[in-house]
Structure 1
C-alpha cells in the first residue's frame, strides 16, 4: 500500500486552456453559491412553515441537504485548484472525495425513489395517506437510504484502496470519479469493475424500477379522474419530481454507458457536470416555481428579513 500513499493524482479539469480558467472559475463559483443558497432557503422555508411539515416536504428538505453535500464534495476542490493553478489532489484526498461522492450520489437516487413512492401513495391512496406515511415511516425510509448509501460507498472505497497505482495518474475529470480512478490502476481491476457495475445495476435497477412502477400507477389513477382540473392538480404535484428524475437519470446513465468508450470521456465529463452541478442547482427552482405553498413560505421569509 506504500506505493499509493506517496502518489498524487492530477485532476485535468474541464479545460487545459489558460484563458478559459477565469471563466470556468466564475461560472462554477456562481453555480455553487446559487445551489447552496437556493437549497438552504428551501430547507428554511420547509422548517419555518408548519403547513409544510408533511412527508413530501420532509423528503424534499432532505434532498436539498444531500444536494448541498453532493456539490460540496467536488466544486470547492475544483475552484481551489483553478485559483492556485495547482491540479494536484493527494491520494488520501482523492479516496475521501470519491467516498463521499458515491455516498451522496447514491442518496440522491434513493431519495428520488422514496419521493416517487410518496407521490404514489398520495395520488393512488389519498384516504390512507396519513396512515401509511406516518412520521416514523418517513424517518425510517430516510434512515434506510443513508444506511444503503453508506454501505455502497464504503464497499467501493475499500475496493479502490486494494488497488496499486504506479504512473500516469492523470484523471481526465474535475473530480475523482470512481470509473476514472479505477482505470488508472496498474493492478487487476476485474473485481472492481464487477462490483461497480453490479452495485450500480442493483441499486439503480431497484430505484428506477420503483420509480417507473410508481408513475405507471400514478398515471393510471390520473387518467381515471373525471375532471380536467383534478387531472391537472394531480399531475402538477408530480411534474417537478418527474423533471428532476428525468434530468438526473438521463445524465447518470449517459456517464456510465459512455465510460466503456475511452473516446467519449469529454461527453462523460459534460454529463457529469449536469448531474453533479446543474441538477442540484435547479432542484430548488424546479420545486418552488410551480408550488404555491413553497412560494408563500419564501415570501414570508423574505418579508421577515426585510423588517
Structure 2
C-alpha cells in the first residue's frame, strides 16, 4: 500500500512517521525545491516540490502508483491546487482512500454552543469559506468516482515543538483574556491515530471533527503550561487591547465547543490526549515541550 501526501507539514509528517510501517512507499510534497531535497535526505521519503510556482514532473506518475492519498496543503487562490492540477490523474488512478485535512473554522461562530458534524457549516472568514469550498470539491470527486473521500475538521493543533510551552520558553506568547472565550485543541498524535483508523474503516463522504474532549479558555492552557514547567507566566492582557495580527484576532471572533463523538463511535478512536492537561504533561515528561 503506497501513500502520497500533498503538503508534508506538521500533521502530515507526524502521520507519515507514526504510520510508516504500514506503507510500502511514501511520497510527499513541499512547496520549495530546496526544502524537498533536504527533507528527502532527512526522512528517506520521496519528496517533490509542488506549489504555485513549482510542479515536479514525477507527481503524476507517483499518483498513478498510489493507494492512499492525504491532502494537507491549504487552498490556493483558485481553490485546491492539487485537485485543480491532478483531478483527472487522481480520478483515473487506483487510489481508494482520500483524506482531506480541513478546519473546524468552517463552522464559524456558534456563540460558545456545543456543535457536532450535523451542525451546518457557516464559515465567517474568507479563509474558512475557501476551506469549505475545497471540502466540497473533494467530496464531489469522491461521489463521481466512487473513491472513499473523507474530510477531517481539525481543532487547534499542538504537539512536540509546537505548543504553549515552546512559546512560553521563547517569550512569544500573550495571556489574552476574553470573557467566555473557549477553544478546542487536538494533539498531533491523535490526528495520526484518527487517520489510521479511517484508513482501516473507510466511509465515502464522511466528515469528522478531530478534536479533544475539553474546550478551554486560552489563558487557562497557558497558566497550566507555566505551572507544569515553572516558566514565568505572562501578564494577563485584555483582548480588546492586545496586540494581535488580523488573522490571530479573527480566531477570537469564533467561539464554539466541538464534540468528537463520531470518531469515537464510528472509528473506535480512543484519544491518547483527551485534554490539554494530558498533552502538555506528556510533552514535559518527554522533554519535547
* TM superposition score category, shorter chain reference: under 0.3
Structure with a larger share of its residues in strand: 2
Q: Which has the larger radius of gyration?
A: 1
* TM-score, normalization by structure 1: 0.22
- Normalization by structure 2: what TM-score? 0.23
Q: Which has the larger share of helix?
A: 1
For CA contacts below 8 A with separation 6 or more, give which structure has more relative contact order: 1
